[in-house]
Amino acid sequence: MLTSYKRGIVWWAKGRIEYNGRAISDYIRESTGASTAQGAQDWINEREAREIRRYLVGEENSLTFADAVLLYDPTSEMAGYLIPLVEELGNRPVTSISPKEVRDLGQKLQPNNSTDTWRRQIITPIRAVINNAHDLGKCPPIKIKGYSTAERTAQDKNRNKPSRKRKMPGSWDWLLKFRQHAPQAHGTLALFMFMTGARIGQAVAMHPSKHLDLQNGKVCIPSAKGHADEWIDIPMELVVDLANLAPKVPRGHKRHHMNLRVFGFASRCGPLKAWKSACSKAGIPYLPPHSAGRHGFGQETAIRQGVDKQAVARAGRWADVQMIDRTYTHPEDSTAKIHTAFRTGLVQAEISTGLKLLETKVSSK
């Protein structure tokens, strides 16, 4: 523990700095440069804080953002987000990067994107990289708050484009019309995602030998979002559709059995061009695969068919049942349902009271 003492007109400090009762520094005997006892105490407080911080997280300013990125194991998607961030912040010590600076990068790097995109492509990657380095004992952690509703609205106004458009979930009507004009692989892919709730990335990664057991009516959904690979039972209609689809090696890949894919696409982007074309030919709204598939699964089961949310969450591999209400189900025919409810309530009240809301009054002469 450091103590102060006066030598002439200047105060000095001596002792060792401790953390949890353990000395973490060599013996110190240094001038504080202060001419008052309070000034000496301020020097001691700052020196102790600096030494404790160095003891906990290592030398300050020694780890750059580029160094921290090398310690991180990103997904391919996250790696793409990190490239421009390393170009912007790579040589900066992570301890010099402030939360406000990170939030301001959205406007600097992506002025025409929404705050949701800024959060996903800027805040989340930077926070993940720095906090991973913190977990390894390399630097302090960082907390970065998201954007407020007011900030999201202001940015939408600046770019003259709304964000968070209401998603339209898939339906049997949409799916049947889509399949009339889609290539076979696209039609089966749409049916597969709609009936299983699989994500597009999971579906296109499926290998016929590893992920299909059609004789027993089962498929294996590849791991995603913290869930391990999982074998599930599928309906006979989907078994037949998958059985009639010949696996293919994605374009540009070496023709080898290990490169076969159930749907023949190399990535989630592979089906998109023909997917959009099929929507146009069918005269139906364009629904991205995630909306047509996973959102459609949640809507069809929980809302249209009234399956209990616990069963929907289990079948759709949602760890949080609340996600179904929060994200994967959507209001349908809201105005008509509300008007019908009011009319029903009115009729019931008129019967019970014997009164009429719009009863014609006859004036007396």
Q: Which of 180-184, 201-205, 304-308, 322-326 has the lowest mean pLDDT?
A: 322-326
Cα angle vertex 227, ends 224, 233, to 5°? 95
Task: Give the model confidence (pLDDT) of 280-321 as tens digits.
Answer: 999 999 999 999 999 999 999 888 888 888 988 888 888 888
* Residue 41: C-alpha distances to residues 7, 29, 62 (Å): 15, 14, 28
Alpha carbons 170 and 278: distance in angstroms, whole number: 14
The pLDDT, as a whole number, for residue 236 is 94
Coil, strand, or helix at residue 209?
A: helix
* Residue 132: C-alpha distances to residues 57, 103, 129, 141, 342 (Å): 13, 19, 5, 8, 54
Residues 6+ apart with CB under 8 A from 292: 169, 170, 174, 175, 178, 190, 193, 194
Q: Let me know if 299 is exposed, middle or buried by CB neighbors in 10 A (0-12, 13-18, 19+).
A: buried
Handedness of CA 76, 79, 80, 81 (dihedral sign): positive
Instruction: Place 342 in a pLDDT band, splitting at 50, 70 and 90.
Output: confident
Measured from the Cβ of residue 263, the count of other Cβ atoms closer than 10 Å reads 23
Structure tokens at 151: 């900030």
| Portion of the chain with pLDDT greater than 90, in percent | 54
Alpha carbons 150 and 82: distance in angstroms, whole number: 27
